[in-house]
Structure 1
Amino acid sequence: MITMTELKERSLLGLKELDKAEIESILNRAAYWEQHPSKVHAALSGKFIANMFFENSTRTRFSFEMAEKRLGAQVLNFTAAASSVEKGESIYDTVRTLESMGIDAGVIRLKPVGVLAELAEKIKVPLINAGDGNNEHPTQALLDLYTMRNHFGSLQGLTVTIVGDVMHSRVARSNAWALRKFGANVRFCSPPNMRAPELDVPEVTMEEALKSDVVMMLRVQLERHEGGKLKSAEEYRASYGLTAERASRIGSHAIIMHPAPVNRNVEIDSELVEHPQSRIFKQMENGVPIRMAVIERALG
């Protein structure tokens, strides 16, 4: 019988509380899986994993499913739009139901902040955070760190500027907390009404952002700005978008990153998505071995 201490050690709720050594072990295990010659393994044969997405996702869900199937696990995909949750069943009841049916681990994405931590205190299987509100997105940050480390060799001393709506970004939070553990210099470049001062990360101008080793653009979630924080996509692009002209001024050694999905010609010009210095599709590729490492860790 797994103890609560072991359960917490295997779960991945966020990177804020995870130490550098543990993060590094995940990155190293991902490198093992990336280099493994076989595409499908029997490492988790006989294990059942439920992907429980109470918030829409395509790339993250498919990346987790690919990772799970490559490890030989049986996968159950659950989406709230086609579930009893739409009829009033609570998130807890849904997760508890799947636990009762015999799943060995759960991957969860949800909107409310704090609910995942509460679930982790009650559910007796490891849980993996696939994004919770504007709190954390740990596997995205892990694949980002992995991408940077593979390119630069080390994260120590890198200047990483995250550009965009930091206030609503779980990606910015997880990256900031993790990168600083490795000695990276993290900065934000965001509109004044989209900042998160509680994160204690220095804000720089767009011109300063272009001098970074890594320019990480955040997706502009247009649906979140109907209340007036964002006047127009065109205005945002003019002030904070990575245009082709701006990209021509980044260092020859620098890389462009984005968690995707991309709003082309809003936060980043379409021609830059597959630019030689862009690592956007490489990030997606790296998501699979990272999630393989995280899932394997969860199931011991």
Structure 2
Amino acid sequence: MPALLAGLAITVALAVISLFVGVSDVSLASLLSGELGGRAGEVLLISRIPRTVALLLSGASMAIAGLVMQMVVRNRFVEPGTTGTSESAALGFLVVTLLAPGWPLMGKMAVSALFALGGTALFLRVLRAVPLRDVLLVPLVGIMLGGIVGAVSAFIAYRTNMMGTLLAWNMGDFSGVIRGRYELLWFGLAGCLLAYLAADRFTVAGMGKDFTTNLGLNYQHVMWLGLVIVSVVSAVVLVSVGSIPFLGLIVPNLVSMLIGDNMRRTVPWVAVGGAGMVLACDIVGRLIRFPYEIPISVVMGVVGSMLFLYLLLRTPRGAR
């Protein structure tokens, strides 16, 4: 518990720093010297606070989605970005944007979530048909499936002059987050809470179908609950801020190395770790070429790929 409180304190500190990092002059001095309705106060209320909240919500929810995915698939090297889930969500959002451009964002998000659910279910179906003799084959199958779905999306986008829009969806970026354009991310928080409430079920399901059935749980119901949580979170984050690579893979693995695989214990750690990592990468992206900004997906891709290689090299062949 003291370590968790320390991590929470670091995350809160990063959130406070995030409020005061940017081109516009938003500082304690400018806020105290003028009214809250002044320029500094307006930037804080309209841009900085919504952006920071979006960072917290997306980081925590995507990390939890990765944890749930790893429990459902029973493999440490999967997350929505390595199972075709994110690519399927992008395909769904593209299709509904082309066929029903006047739909509200909530409706488009629902269609995107359905496509994400279908893509994840297809991934699991492919896994059952492929003999897997190595732990690394599972994410490899997911990456190939994601590549196929991404190619279909790119072809449709190319034929309809939507390539720039598709690239924006696949590039995680919080620079455009303002008040009124991030509220869907609260559904991600609902997914985190649901994952915590069902944590014991996911822990049992991670031990296999026979073990789960012997304990009196419906294995298929637990699986579908996990897939729904992952699909909704993936769609919400994609629609709101774009794709964030490696987050759902790295954070759960680092937490598992520290405190084990009991999901009831790890959910708070994963949520805090995901939020803190996204905040740190976003701050680095804003400062490294100030006053210009590097998208968080670029920073997260560099950091995540290095940590992913470390996890691959330290994991024995054939281990879970």
Do Structure 1 and Structure 2 share a fold, with TM-score over 0.5? no
Q: Which has the higher contact order (CA 8 A, sep 6+)?
A: 2
Which structure: greater strand fraction?
Answer: 1
Q: If the length of structure 1 is used for normalisation, what is the TM-score?
A: 0.28
Q: Higher helix fraction: Structure 1 or Structure 2?
A: 2
